């Protein structure tokens, strides 16, 4: 039997953004943090590089702002960039205070104490400003924040809970548009429970799983973006999907990302014959922004008919490599690749969703009571191409800003004590789950083929036709059978795929991560692609 729960704050997503918001709120609030799998299944845990912030005495806020604007292809919102960068130092200090074990600078002079942590440099950055924990920064941050959350009696950490849809006043036929919580599938019981909340936060990550090849974990299905869209929120710039240039190419590796910090520390991209090629595409070589590097690799692979290119740091000392990149070293060794002696086979893979749910500087969406933070959101920070290591920074800055905004409203917001239960009276158990598996595979394949690194009008039209057929089929399945995690994710993924395709078709130029052979030039005016929902979920 389904159950009803009531919280002050419901956080959908257990990564950096969600845990940071929960920990920033005061201890008297009842907070639920939901994870649709195990708590560590999100993208945060797998982030290797680090967090970009102005921490060194030779660096400046203005320099970080300018680097971000340059990487963003003219589409960054300067106010959002400046807001994020200006709050970077305090966000890092908060993480240090939580106990995150960032790598210390062994060369620091104890006689002249200053900033004591090691900083590295990544593509697009003009300074060393990436604070990190070796090459497993995400894991270090996640483990620390999770440990802190477990010590807070007011925070419930709930695993195997899959959000199905948001509950809004409009959905219930009431006056107003406020979000009142969410319907959530408990995978242990198979029941859809009702979670009422005064404030609901979407911190569920991006949608890179819409592509066949991705560096993301399996849960990156755009759930928050799809739920927000169905509830009446605008979305923006979903055509800008960042393809990380360097994912390990190996049949058994699945989705292991080779951190950009390798290139920051001098690794070379090479063709199979050992020739370097990045200088032909950009004077910054391997340190060019990700969109340029990914397109260069894609071009060389298609030009030569090769399966991958190679990333080589073997010219550095064994000690340097094992000290700075222990995770990459050990993981590659599992596949008999010794990076102290050999180059790493790499390919581009879908990595980050630069667009998302439109929010303001406090993470507020168009629906009152509903916030979106982290990769789910569109703040204006990333523009047409996210600069390396700005994403984790965005999580912390906007989580703290959203928490501060919630505190200003606590005395004014109450919701109904009882909300209607999920209605499963008209559905049955499915005996055709093969349809879900088939549709899942078809969707990801045509998105990779038609809406990938290089696009054309014809490819996008084909993708649009296919996704509309899939949406109709999925809606029919959803209406007749009980929900499962696979069905919920497929429904959300198809919805976000359709939004990505519509956004890509609307942009008649090439800019940043959106490159089309039909419009290879950049228009003189940079405009966001904003989609507005015209209908709402029943």
Please identify which of the residues 290, 295, 331, 491 carries the catalytic annotation. 290
3 state SS of 346:
strand
CA distance 61 to 64: 5
511-526: buried (b, 16+ CB within 10 Å) or exposed (e) per residue? bbbbbbeebeeeeeeb
CA triplet 218, 221, 227: central angle to 5 degrees? 145
Q: Which residues contact 302 (CB under 8 A, 6 or more apart)?
A: none
Q: Give the largest CA-CA distance in the chain.
A: 73
CA distance 325 to 428: 51
Q: Which residues contact 368 (CB under 8 A, 6 or more apart)?
A: 176, 177, 178, 179
290 is catalytic: yes
Closest CA to 135 of 120, 117, 116, 115: 120
How many other CB atoms are there within 10 angstroms of residue 426's CB atom?
Answer: 7
Token pair belonging to 73: 């292809």
Q: Which residues contact 517 (CB under 8 A, 6 or more apart)?
A: 454, 455, 456
Token pair belonging to 415: 């919701």
Active site residues: 290
């Amino acid at each position: 039997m389904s159950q009803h729960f009531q919280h002050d704050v419901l956080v959908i997503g257990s990564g950096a953004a969600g845990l940071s918001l929960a920990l920033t709120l005061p201890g008297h609030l009842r907070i639920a943090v939901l994870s649709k799998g195990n708590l560590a299944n999100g993208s945060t845990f797998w982030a290797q590089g680090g967090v970009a912030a102005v921490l060194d005495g030779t660096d400046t806020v203005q320099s970080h702002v300018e680097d971000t604007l340059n990487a963003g292809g003219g589409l960054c919102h300067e106010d959002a960039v400046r807001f994020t960068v200006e709050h970077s130092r305090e966000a890092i200090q908060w993480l240090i205070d939580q106990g995150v074990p960032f790598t210390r600078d062994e060369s620091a002079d104890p006689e002249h104490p200053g900033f004591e942590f090691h900083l590295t440099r990544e593509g697009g950055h003009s300074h060393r400003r990436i604070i990190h924990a070796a090459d497993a920064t995400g894991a270090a941050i996640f483990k620390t924040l999770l440990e802190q959350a477990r010590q807070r009696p007011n925070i419930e950490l709930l695993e195997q809970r899959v959000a199905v849809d948001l509950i809004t006043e409009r959905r219930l036929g009431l006056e107003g548009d406020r979000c009142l919580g969410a319907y959530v599938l408990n995978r242990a019981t198979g029941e859809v429970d009702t979670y009422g909340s005064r404030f609901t936060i979407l911190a569920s990550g991006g949608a890179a799983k819409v592509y066949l090849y991705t560096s993301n974990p399996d849960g990156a299905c755009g759930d928050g973006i799809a739920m927000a869209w169905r509830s009446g929120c605008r979305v923006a710039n979903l055509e800008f999907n960042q393809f990380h240039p360097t994912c390990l190419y190996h049949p058994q590796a699945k989705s292991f990302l080779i951190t950009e910090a390798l290139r920051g520390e001098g690794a070379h991209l090479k063709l199979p014959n050992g020739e370097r090629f990045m200088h032909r595409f950009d004077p910054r070589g391997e340190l060019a922004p990700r969109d340029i590097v990914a397109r260069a690799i894609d071009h060389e692979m298609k030009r030569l008919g090769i399966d991958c290119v190679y990333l080589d740091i073997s010219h550095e000392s064994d000690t340097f490599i094992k000290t700075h990149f222990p995770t990459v070293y050990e993981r590659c060794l599992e596949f008999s690749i010794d990076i102290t002696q050999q180059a790493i086979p790499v390919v581009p893979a879908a990595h980050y969703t630069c667009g998302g749910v439109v929010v303001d500087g406090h993470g507020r969406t168009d629906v009152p009571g509903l916030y979106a933070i982290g990769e789910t959101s569109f703040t204006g920070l990333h523009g047409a191409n996210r600069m390396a290591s700005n994403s984790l920074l965005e999580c912390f800055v906007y989580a703290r800003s959203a928490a501060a905004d919630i505190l200003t409203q606590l005395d004014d917001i109450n919701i109904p004590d009882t909300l209607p239960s999920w209605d499963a009276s008209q559905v049955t158990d499915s005996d055709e789950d093969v349809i879900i598996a088939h549709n899942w595979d078809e969707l990801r394949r045509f998105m990779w083929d038609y809406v990938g690194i290089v696009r054309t009008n014809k490819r996008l039209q084909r993708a649009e036709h296919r996704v509309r057929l899939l949406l109709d089929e999925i809606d029919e399945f959803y209406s007749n059978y009980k929900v499962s995690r696979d069905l919920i994710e497929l429904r959300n993924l198809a919805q976000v795929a359709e939004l990505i395709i519509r956004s890509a078709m609307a942009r008649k130029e090439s800019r940043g991560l959106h490159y089309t052979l039909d419009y290879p030039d950049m228009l003189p005016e940079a405009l966001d692609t904003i989609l507005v929902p015209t209908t709402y979920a029943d």
